[in-house]
Amino acid sequence: MTQFEPVIGMEVHVELATESKIFCGCSTRFGQEPNTQTCPICLGMPGVLPVVNRKAVEFTIRTALALNCLINERTWFDRKNYYYPDLPKNYQISQNYACLGVNGWIEIPVGDSVKRVRINNVHLEEDAGKLVHTELPGADYSLVDLNRAGTPLIEIVSEPDMASAEEALAYMVTLKNLLEYIEVSDCKMQEGRLRFEVNISLREAGSSKLGTKVEIKNLNSMKTALKCIEYEMKRQSEILASGGRVVQETRLWDEATGETRAMRSKEFAHDYRYFPDPDLVEIHIPPSWQEEVRQNLPELQDAKRRRYIEELGLPEYDARVLTASKKTATYYEKAVAAYHNPKAISNWMMTEVLRELREREMDADELPLKPEGLAAIVRMIDEGKISGKIGKEVFQKALESGEAPEAIVQREGLIQVSDTGEVERWVDEAISENPDMAEKIRAGNEKTIQALVGQVMKKSRGKANPKLVNELIRQKLTN
Ligand SMILES: [Zn+2]
């Protein structure tokens, strides 16, 4: 049977973290009342004139540089003409003939090695509005919210250089991390700040001839993009294996059925009738401006990792894990700023915090326990106020309720008991209830001491100071 391999390219849309829109002064804040962040410009009224947001251009230069692109020193906007109800002007201001950045690349991890994925171009455009499909029974209309219309958007177009679903995932993860590091977007996928489009074709394994590709639009998470790639690999290989022909078309992902379905055929390429927007002037980006942007890049992953090793004394491994995502690194730095024990906090990050983030499929900035709360737990342990075990309980409770760890410890009476009299009572009880253990310890069996400490800890519901328990047992049973 013929073996097929996928050829995958991606277009990634990123909403930029500017405060105002790309061609007007309206706010870009997410989640506001529909149509409250609009003006004649982003509503597409006749006769208005757009003025470009300098910050949006700078963020695009920053992204293009980080993706090793060449910058077009003369660039401009083009009108992409099409009709859709969320686009009142009937054209989108985008770039087609002279994209801001071209011919770049990014390296992604593949197994133990890295692979270079070429970037065809990075260009700047405006986002469209959003259609709201009402779910009222019997409703036969949709509503339109134009708050998002005119939000600056960059599109990053890769070459079809990915050869498996795993490589596509590595590309998405690496790109998201990079965008967060250079601070051009918060990349919140659930708010639509980062969106994916996949194009995929199959070819006979080993062949260099490309097959017919299919595009899948509007994928709002990496998970969906992956499911979609896997589905298309199966669908297309079944068509090809049975001697059929893949139709070049745009498809949509249907979350309910877990399938893609045809949206529109691309047999005849769409003609958007691009032409330079006469309302906007050309943008000149001399080398001096590029240099200025390069100088102002925030601290990137490698530099941060070195700093963690040199200034915070972390092992290489910790530094690598903590800097893998900027949001994780920021969480860590805030915790260390609140309480300076870099290694202990790193240990908590690498175990408890990262596990929670994985399970909850969250970024660190969304965790209900704030970095200051984590710092408080580590401090209370260091001060002997609570045991490490209680610390983990408090961590879980703080995650559930969002309450401050100190308050939980107070309310639930979890403070570690270091009062000798009280701990001694628990030790005496444990000895009299476990005479065989006591006997073994008297006979010199070191291991049994730990077992008896365990009994005392259980009695005290984890509150006895384990160091003190250990001392008391030795005093009483050994000489
Ligand atoms: Zn506006």
pLDDT in tens, 250-306: 999 998 899 998 886 655 556 899 999 999 999 999 999 999 999 999 998 889 999
Tell me the CA–centroid distance for residue 294 and ligand 1, in Å: 30
- Written as six digits, the tokens of 8 are 């995958």
pLDDT in tens, 87-113: 999 999 999 999 999 999 999 999 989
**Residues belonging to the chain:** 479
Tell me the CA–centroid distance for residue 27 and ligand 1, in Å: 8
Among 264, 289, 314, the domain-final residue is: 289
* pLDDT-derived band at 422, boundaries 50, 70, 90: confident
Asked if 146 and 88 count as a contact pair (C-beta separation under 8 A), the reply is: yes
* Residue carrying structure tokens 């133990």: 112
Tell me the CA–centroid distance for residue 452 and ligand 1, in Å: 71
User: Percentage of residues in the chain with pLDDT exceeding 70?
Assistant: 98
Q: What is the mean pLDDT of the chain?
A: 93
Query: What is the arithmetic mean of pLDDT over 15-21?
Result: 98
Tell me the CA–centroid distance for residue 36 and ligand 1, in Å: 10
Tell me the CA–centroid distance for residue 57 and ligand 1, in Å: 17
Residue 368 domain flag: yes
pLDDT in tens, 383-410: 988 888 899 999 999 999 989 999 999 8
* Gap between the Cα atoms of 232 and 237, Å rounded: 8
Tell me the CA–centroid distance for residue 23 and ligand 1, in Å: 7
* pLDDT-derived band at 417, boundaries 50, 70, 90: confident
Asked if 185 and 15 count as a contact pair (C-beta separation under 8 A), the reply is: yes
- Written as six digits, the tokens of 92 are 């989108």
Residue 19 and residue 156 share a domain: yes
Tell me the CA–centroid distance for residue 25 and ligand 1, in Å: 6
pLDDT in tens, 442-470: 998 888 999 999 999 888 888 888 888 99
Tell me the CA–centroid distance for residue 24 and ligand 1, in Å: 5
Residue 307 and residue 158 share a domain: no
Among 268, 289, 310, the domain-final residue is: 289
Tell me the CA–centroid distance for residue 123 and ligand 1, in Å: 21
* Gap between the Cα atoms of 407 and 206, Å rounded: 63
Closest-CA residue to 217 (of 192, 196, 187, 193)? 196
Stated pTM of the model: 0.81
Q: pLDDT at residue 150 above 80?
A: yes
Tell me the CA–centroid distance for residue 44 and ligand 1, in Å: 9
Residue 434 and residue 469 share a domain: yes
Tell me the CA–centroid distance for residue 26 and ligand 1, in Å: 4
pLDDT of residue 1: 59
Query: What is the arithmetic mean of pLDDT over 336-349?
Result: 97
The C-alpha angle 252, 93, 104, rounded to 5 degrees, equals 75
Tell me the CA–centroid distance for residue 37 and ligand 1, in Å: 7
SS3 content of the chain, % helix, strand, coil (to 5): 40, 20, 35
- Written as six digits, the tokens of 305 are 């990792």
Query: What is the arithmetic mean of pLDDT over 402-428?
Result: 88
Q: What is the Rg, in whole angstroms, of the alpha carbon atoms belonging to the chain?
A: 29
How many domains, in total, are found in the chain? 3
Residues 148-169: b if buried by 16+ CB within 10 A, e if exposed: bbbbbbbbbbbebbbeebebbb
Specify the 3-state DSSP secondary structure of 431: helix
Residue 186 and residue 41 share a domain: yes
CA atoms within 13 A on the CB side of 426: 25
Specify the 3-state DSSP secondary structure of 29: coil
pLDDT of residue 268: 52
Tell me the CA–centroid distance for residue 38 and ligand 1, in Å: 4
Q: How far is CA 106 from the centre of its chain?
A: 18
* Gap between the Cα atoms of 25 and 29, Å rounded: 12
Tell me the CA–centroid distance for residue 55 and ligand 1, in Å: 16
Tell me the CA–centroid distance for residue 156 and ligand 1, in Å: 25
Among 255, 289, 323, the domain-final residue is: 289
Residue 145 and residue 98 share a domain: yes
Tell me the CA–centroid distance for residue 149 and ligand 1, in Å: 8
**Would you give the DSSP letter of residue 262?**
E
pLDDT of residue 269: 56
Tell me the CA–centroid distance for residue 43 and ligand 1, in Å: 7
Q: pLDDT at residue 135 above 90?
A: no
Tell me the CA–centroid distance for residue 90 and ligand 1, in Å: 16
Q: Identify the domain containing residue 347 by its residue range.
A: 299-404
Asked if 99 and 123 count as a contact pair (C-beta separation under 8 A), the reply is: yes
